[in-house]
Structure 1
Amino acid sequence: MGTWGVDSFDNDDAGDFVAALEADKSEPPVVNAERVIAALDAVFAQSAQGLDAGVAAIGVAAADIVATSLGQSRATEKADPYELENALKFNDDAVGKAVAVLSRVRADGSELAALWDETDDAEDWRTALSALEARLRKAAETHGLDPTFVPEDEGGMSEEQTIRDTVDQVYDDMMVEMERVADTGAGDPQVEMLRHLVRKMHLVHKDITNMRYFVVDSLDTLTARIDRIEKAGQ
């Protein structure tokens, strides 16, 4: 990885990443927003104890783009050069992921950190990361976003589990509201019949949803086992 400075874009990997963003500027902003999020996720896809330097460098560049897109650019940078502000605010965990990426990049086990620690500029590099983190936290504060994100391998929930919990909460809230409305007509035979039907529908929904989750989890487990068997046979 060619490197000529301590800032986020002062290396070949970050340069290639930015070039890809530039190439897709004519596409809807969501295309590049997804590329930025994917670059952050790529850091968490690797072991914290063996984070590749190139993946880390691209992750830092993506984190910087998140900050810049949300109004926290450096004095020498154009604000939101890829027009990603709205798309990244929609991905409301983007700032949290960016902050978590910086923690991974400078932690023990990061190849990039190890490489910098062998140079005279290690302290400057870490200072640059701290400054970027401060910009990200300021962006989170400005836009009312959460700057915290816990990766799965550190005890955080998977995206799938987060969606499941959200759906369950929505249905639970809906049932509370339905019961409240039904209480206003308590004693009316038709209201009580409808209340009974809604409760049964809710139970059926939970049974179907739980069965779907069971099937999906079973298929994921089976796929993982097949992959391990295939790799062992190679």
Structure 2
Amino acid sequence: MECAVMGSWGYGIFENDDVLDWKAELLETKGLDFIEATLDNVIKADYIEADLSSNGLGAIEIVAALQGKPGVEIRNKNIYVEGLDGWIKLYAGQGEGLIEAAKIAVKRIKTDSELKELWEDSDEFAEWLKVVRELEGRLSTI
């Protein structure tokens, strides 16, 4: 699939270059500090640039997965999430203190981010928004 958003090949959380770089960095970390820092950066940014938005969505997805609510990419062991399974198992059940930050971050990305603007200018905006709303929905059940 050719995607209108630069560096993306799909509208899934892990279907872009930025979040895959972020994921590689995450897999080198211990504990949840890297995720917390990413969420803080999203929440505190005056303007959430596309790369931070993508990284934020990755962090939010991990927070949900740690609480037993993984998205379809993780459940289906999509090739782009390779390596995350073991990391998530190692920290499963942790991160409850990050849930509220994740909820705030996903709302900001969904409504006021460069990534949202880029997707709005594409033919795939509805699909991207559906993915983000699904993630937001999983968070609301935690």
For normalisation by structure 1, the TM-score amounts to: 0.51
In structure 2, how many angstroms separate the alpha carbons of the residues matched to 1:135 and 1:80? 20
Q: 1:3 and 1:82 mapped to 2: Cα distance?
A: 27
Measure the CA separation in 2 of the matches of 1:82 and 1:118: 37
Instruction: Kindly state the Cα deviation for residue 80 of structure 1 after the two structures are TM-superposed.
Output: 6.2
Aligned runs of 1:13-28 on 2, under 5 Å?
A: 13-24=18-29, 27=30
Unaligned runs of 5+ in 1: 141-234
The alignment status of 1:70 with 2:67, answered yes or no, reads: yes
The whole-number CA distance in structure 1 between the counterparts of 2:21 and 2:140 is 26
**1:65-119 CA distance string (max 9 Å, x none):** 0011110113314486252234413xx2x111111111111214x1111100011
The percentage of aligned residue pairs carrying the same residue is 28
The 8 Å contact of residues 6 and 121 in structure 1, kept in 2 or not, is answered as yes
1:60 aligns with 2:49: no
- Within the candidate set 121, 127, 130, 1:127 is matched to 130
Matched residue pairs, number? 127
Matches of 1:128 and 1:79, distance apart in 2: 24
Q: Which amino acid aligns with 1:88?
A: G
Give yes or no for contact 1:14–1:61 (8 Å, CA) kept in 2: yes
Alpha-carbon distance in structure 2 between the residues aligned to 1:113 and 1:128: 12
Alpha-carbon contact 2:68-2:93 (below 8 Å) kept: no
Q: Which residue of 2 aligns with 1:8?
A: 13
Matches for 1:8-157 after TM superposition, within 5 Å: 8-24=13-29, 27=30, 30=31, 33-47=32-46, 50-74=47-71, 75-77=75-77, 78=85, 81=88, 83-89=90-96, 92=97, 94-108=98-112, 110-138=113-141, 140=142
Say if 2:67 and 2:94, in contact at 8 Å, map to a contact too: no
Q: CA deviation at 1:17?
A: 0.8
Larger radius of gyration: 1
CA shift digits 1:17-46 (9 cap, x unpaired): 11012223xx4xx2xx11001101001221
1:81 counterpart letter in structure 2: I
Cα distance in 1 between the residues matched to 2:126 and 2:37 = 28
Helix, strand or coil at the partner of 1:96: helix
Contact 1:68 1:80 in 2 (8 A): no
Structure 2 distance, partners of 1:57, 1:95, is 18
Larger RCO (alpha carbons 8 Å, 6+ apart): 2
Partner of 2:80: none
Greater share of residues in helix: 1
